[in-house]
Structure 1
Amino acid sequence: MSQTTPWKPRLVALDVDGTMLDPATQTLSEGVRAAVRRAVDAGCHVVVSTGRSMLGTLPVLDELGLSAGAVLCSNGAVRLDAATRETVSVETFDPAPVYTRLSSLLPGAQFAAEQLGTGSLVTSWFPETHLHGPQQPVDVAELTERPVPRLIAHWAGHTPEEVAEVLDGVSLPGSVYTIDQYATWVTVVPDGVTKGAALEKLRAELGIAIEDTFAAGDGDNDIQMLQWAGHSVAMGQAQPEVRTAATEVAADVAADGLVTVLDRWFSGGTPSG
């Protein structure tokens, strides 16, 4: 990106929690909402790309005023149409062998299997603020009897660092996992599914050059997306491995670091590279 050649990204992929939404306050600032709206008004393809379920993502779309384009949920396992709020594609995996492996490695962990658009099957009740939508307690047989797009393991009473240590080098059958830096959550999705892989499919469909893509994120599940984008930003509070994956590091989410970056191109002034 030359400093003398005006440049704007044509596809902007944005994580939610820790990037647009401050986990400490669980809110989207007015600055973030306005910055996203400016990008949309400029003709940019803004793609919400999140580990959240479909039910957890829909309210974010409402707050941002996004009513067109693609939305990636469950780390890319689920694609939605922002206009219709209907699913475009869903990838799933068999949760049974994954549950068997994780329950032995994380003794006492509780599990949640995403039921697309309706809620979650859970082995025990999660705190209300942790899962989006209705929870249905079930036994393990029912939890694991059908393929799912996303499985959550929550190891209460432990730290993300402890989870990472236990799972270091571990492979899960037919699936991949990421670890949340804000809670002791392991998010499991189908093998080969990442935000970056889902965005590459979308980019090819839209006919946008890779150098015209931008991504912002802060978590373990954002690493492939940040590496994929032509230009990428890690939020200031991100862990070192996430920061290393990005082109640059912005200010923390609490300081609206994303707004500062987006305003380079979508502030209404002269774009810069």
Structure 2
Amino acid sequence: MKTFPRLLALDIDGTLLAWIKGSGTTHGTVTPRVHAAIQRAHAAGAHIVLSSGRSPHGMTGTADLLGVVAPGSEPLWVVASNGAVVFRYLPGAEIDVVVEETFDAAPAVRAILEARPTARVAIEERGLGYRVSTPFPEGELSGEMVLTEIEDLVRLPVSRVIIRDPEATADDFVALAAGLGLHGTDYVVGWTAWLDLTPVGVSKASGLQHVVDELGLTAADVLAIGDGRNDIEMLRWAGRGVAMGQAIEPVREAADHVTDTVYDDGAAVEIERWFG
């Protein structure tokens, strides 16, 4: 009898949701095959945990799509903001934040803007949207965007900062983060450059560690699937880390296995190994 995995840690964009090529955004639904595989895993008793760089309110819609949580059922564990926020979710109820890690982002933001003056900065305003230095391209942030001066954006501790520069490339941002010695996670969203800054030591892996501790499990019980640079720590941490087929080489190297691409239902291919 198969006893692994007892928990599925699933990235969203590029893993459960396929990229709309050339747009920087993902489709709004999971495919029937991925949905069915997750349903089988849940029915078999596996915990389903979404783990994303998205803000908490940017993840609840995807949680609803999976069909594994409903009013009156056990709340879903969710790891948001690249591990800085861990919460429990039931449709129709307020998000129950269990963990929120914060940090002083001002020095890092100032250093980035000195190097990339055209960069845009966003801070999540939970439940409403984002406070931004300059509007982001349509569809990239969920909720309302409120224009805010930089110094006001970083005046108080925050859990996550988004840096976006339409004039930069992904490689520019990787080099920028390395050159400045930033503590955070650099990764690519779609076709452009996007950098997330989070508290030192915080990642999807640290967020998931909170979850397994609460559930009486360990990392060895976890199957994690992801496709981005912000998934590297999670894939290394999990008992089995699986990279999506379209992932770049550093992500693939961090994984125990590489599945098919998101366009070929790679998440379902892996989940079906255990819950076929």
Q: What is the TM-score normalised by the length of structure 2?
A: 0.90
Task: Tell me the residue number matched to 1:6.
Answer: 2
Q: Which consecutive aligned stretches of 4+ in structure 1 deviate over 3 angstroms post-superposition? A: none
Matching residue within 199, 204, 207 for 2:208 = 199
Shift of 1:7: 3.8
* Preserved contact between residue 203 and residue 234 of structure 2 (Cα < 8 Å): yes
Superposed CA deviations along residues 211-266 of structure 1, whole A, max 9, x for unmatched, are 22110001000000000011111001101110011000001001101101101122
Task: Tell me the residue number matched to 1:270.
Answer: none
How many matched pairs?
261
User: For 2:153 and 2:187, how far apart are their aligned partners in 1?
Assistant: 21
Secondary structure in 1 aligned to 2:158? coil
Q: Percent of counterpart pairs with the same letter?
A: 38
Task: Tell me the residue number matched to 1:49.
Answer: 51
Matching residue within 8, 11, 36 for 1:15 = 11
Matched, 1:252 2:261: yes
The code of the aligned residue for 1:22 comes to: A
Secondary structure in 1 aligned to 2:180? coil
Superposed CA deviations along residues 127-148 of structure 1, whole A, max 9, x for unmatched, are 2200011110011122111221
Shift of 1:118: 2.0
Q: 1:173-192, aligned counterparts within 5 Å?
A: 175-182=183-190, 183-192=192-201
Tell which deviates more after alignment, 53-62 or 141-150: 141-150
The code of the aligned residue for 1:70 comes to: W
The code of the aligned residue for 1:221 comes to: N
Task: Tell me the residue number matched to 2:117.
Answer: 107
Matched, 1:37 2:39: yes
Matched, 1:69 2:76: yes
Q: What is the TM-score normalised by the length of structure 1?
A: 0.91
Secondary structure in 2 aligned to 1:184? strand
User: For 1:225 and 1:194, how far apart are their aligned partners in 2?
Assistant: 7
User: For 1:41 and 1:82, how far apart are their aligned partners in 2?
Assistant: 18
Task: Tell me the residue number matched to 1:26.
Answer: 27
Shift of 1:169: 4.0
Matched, 1:211 2:206: no
Matching residue within 109, 120, 135 for 2:130 = 120
Tell which deviates more after alignment, 221-230 or 196-205: 196-205
Task: Tell me the residue number matched to 1:230.
Answer: 239
Task: Tell me the residue number matched to 2:96.
Answer: 86
Tell which deviates more after alignment, 203-212 or 243-252: 203-212
Secondary structure in 1 aligned to 2:59? helix
Superposed CA deviations along residues 5-56 of structure 1, whole A, max 9, x for unmatched, are 6343001100000111101252321222221121111111111000001121
Tell which deviates more after alignment, 26-35 or 74-83: 26-35
Shift of 1:176: 1.6
Structure 2: gaps (5+ residues): 21-25, 70-74
* Preserved contact between residue 181 and residue 220 of structure 1 (Cα < 8 Å): no
Tell which deviates more after alignment, 53-62 or 199-208: 199-208
User: For 1:168 and 1:210, how far apart are their aligned partners in 2?
Assistant: 28
Secondary structure in 1 aligned to 2:155? coil
The code of the aligned residue for 1:92 comes to: T
* Preserved contact between residue 39 and residue 266 of structure 1 (Cα < 8 Å): yes
User: For 1:53 and 1:143, how far apart are their aligned partners in 2?
Assistant: 16
User: For 1:39 and 1:266, how far apart are their aligned partners in 2?
Assistant: 6
User: For 2:61 and 2:105, how far apart are their aligned partners in 1?
Assistant: 27
User: For 1:225 and 1:114, how far apart are their aligned partners in 2?
Assistant: 23
* Preserved contact between residue 66 and residue 82 of structure 1 (Cα < 8 Å): no
Matching residue within 109, 115, 133 for 2:143 = 133
User: For 1:110 and 1:236, how far apart are their aligned partners in 2?
Assistant: 30
User: For 1:91 and 1:241, how far apart are their aligned partners in 2?
Assistant: 26
The code of the aligned residue for 1:142 comes to: D
User: For 1:224 and 1:138, how far apart are their aligned partners in 2?
Assistant: 32
The code of the aligned residue for 1:179 comes to: Y
User: For 1:82 and 1:45, how far apart are their aligned partners in 2?
Assistant: 13
Superposed CA deviations along residues 45-85 of structure 1, whole A, max 9, x for unmatched, are 11100000112111111111242331000001111112343
Shift of 1:117: 2.3
User: For 1:212 and 1:142, how far apart are their aligned partners in 2?
Assistant: 42
